[in-house]
Chains A and B, each alone.
Chain A
């Protein structure tokens, strides 16, 4: 309905609620205001409308206060716990653990060190793990028999066969020869 010029009572009544709520455009609000200035019955309707709203508000506010939040909160918490999936709980625990500043620092440093070590060339790795040497590296020790060890060095392809005294074997041999002498 186009509202131009002055309003009649029917049109004004239709806009009265929105006017009281402050929801009309400026031009419409002015028209309603001008009509109210000259129409006592519409002024009376406005008073009734405001009284109705105020009374409803008071009654509903009183009704709302009957609700006990503490009881409701217990129910809300229960539902919140149900909604959290195991993945969310795990992620939450991991997040809280990682938030410990010391742990976060230590993990970061360890990760950087590990990446750095793995990225090193082989020669540097050798120096790192064998700082005193680097001249000779023992690649394998093969225990052949009881007093022979074979050492193989990869770079120079050197093989060393080491005959070392086996004290246990020597003792056994001595015991055997002693007993044989007795028998003899």
Chain B
């Protein structure tokens, strides 16, 4: 574990609130992006991200240091995200009390209503293409490409073998290349 993280975790265990804030500020953006990649809903992602850190603080005494702090907190984030996703499936977003389905917001990474792909900037096109991946493929893409985690770490976080991580990543990259090849 990063020495600074180890020191901060020890201080958190002693009840040092400021140390936890420092840890949270270091990892919040990364954790949020992973959660957003799984949930695809900005508000839900914000809720889950806050819940992740609150839960981490409550369980900090149980963190043994066997893995790195960020692996541990990503694991909490991913578990909460998949729980939230199951709730999303049971209660689809945009369904009114009368059962009518409202127009749903697609692709929260892109954050805009769907438009002709050719009129978008490359950044928007990339975000749209990521949104169209399945959640498990989005998660490995974000953890590998954005966070630079190893396949072993990704496997620990997602609870799957390294071979599965490798094949999901291969598939995700292939999909992205097919969608973006005219612009890359």
Contact between B109 and A63 (Cβ–Cβ < 8 Å)? yes
User: Contacting chain B: which of A67-75, A146-154, A162-170, A174-182?
Assistant: A67-75
Complex alpha-carbon distance, A75 and B54, angstroms:
9
Contact A64 B30 (CB under 8 A): yes
**Chain B residues within 8 Å of chain A by Cβ, number:** 41
Q: Cα distance A75–B47 when bound, in Å?
A: 8
Q: CB distance A48 to B177 under 8 Å?
A: yes
Main SS class of interface, A: helix
Asked whether, in the complex, the Cβ of B151 is within 8 Å of the Cβ of A21, the reply is yes
Question: CB of A76 within 8 A of chain B?
Answer: yes
Is B11 an interface position by the 8 A CB rule? Answer: no
Q: Do the beta carbons of B151 and A23 come within 8 Å of each other?
A: yes
The answer on a CB contact under 8 Å between B28 and A72 is: yes
* Contact indicator A59/B58 (Cβ below 8 Å): no
Residue A38, interface by CB 8 Å = no
Task: Please give the number of chain A residues whose Cβ is less than 8 angstroms from any Cβ of chain B in the complex.
Answer: 34
Docked CA distance A164–B123 (Å): 109
Given A52-B184, A76-B54, A79-B54, is A17 in contact with B146 using a C-beta cutoff of 8 Å?
no
Cross-chain contact A60 with B145 (CB below 8 angstroms): yes
B54 touches A69 (CB 8 A): no
Residue numbers in A under 8 Å from B109 (CB-CB): 63
B150 near A23 (CB under 8 angstroms)? yes
The answer to whether B50 touches A75 (Cβ under 8 A) is: yes
CA distance A90 to B109 in the complex (A): 43
A18 CB contacts on chain B under 8 angstroms: 151, 166, 169-170
A62 in the interface (beta carbon within 8 A): yes
A59 to B122, CA, bound (A): 9
Contact (Cβ within 8 A) B170 A14 = yes
Q: What's the nearest-Cβ distance from chain A to residue B22, in Å?
A: 11
Asked if B141 is at the interface (CB within 8 A of a chain A CB), the reply is yes
Chain A CB within 8 A of B32 CB = yes
* Best-surrounded residue of B141, B170, B181 (most CB of chain A within 10 A): B170
Within 8 Å of chain B (Cβ to Cβ): is A161? no
Among candidates A14, A48, A67, A83, residue contacting B58 with C-beta atoms closer than 8 Å: A83
Contact with A along B146-184 (1 / 0, CB 8 A): 100011000000000010001001100100110011001
| Known A48-B177, A64-B33: A69·B184 in contact at CB below 8 Å | no
Residues of A within 8 A of B15 (CB): 92, 95-96
Q: Which of A56, A65, A73 contacts B176 (CB 8 A)?
A: A56
Query: In the assembled complex, how far is the CB of residue A37 from the closest CB belonging to chain B, in whole angstroms?
Result: 22
Instruction: State whether A57 touches B145 (Cβ < 8 A).
Output: yes
B57 within 8 A of A: yes
| A115 touches B (CB below 8 Å) | no
Residue of A14, A60, A62, A95 with most chain B CB atoms under a 10 A cut-off: A60
Contact partners of A92 in chain B: CB under 8 A = 15
In the bound complex, residues from chain A placing their C-beta under 8 Å from that of B162 are 23
Q: With an 8 A cutoff between CB atoms, is B4 at the interface?
A: no
Other CB < 8 Å A-B pairs besides A48-B177, A60-B145, 4 of them? A67-B32, A72-B32, A79-B54, A83-B57
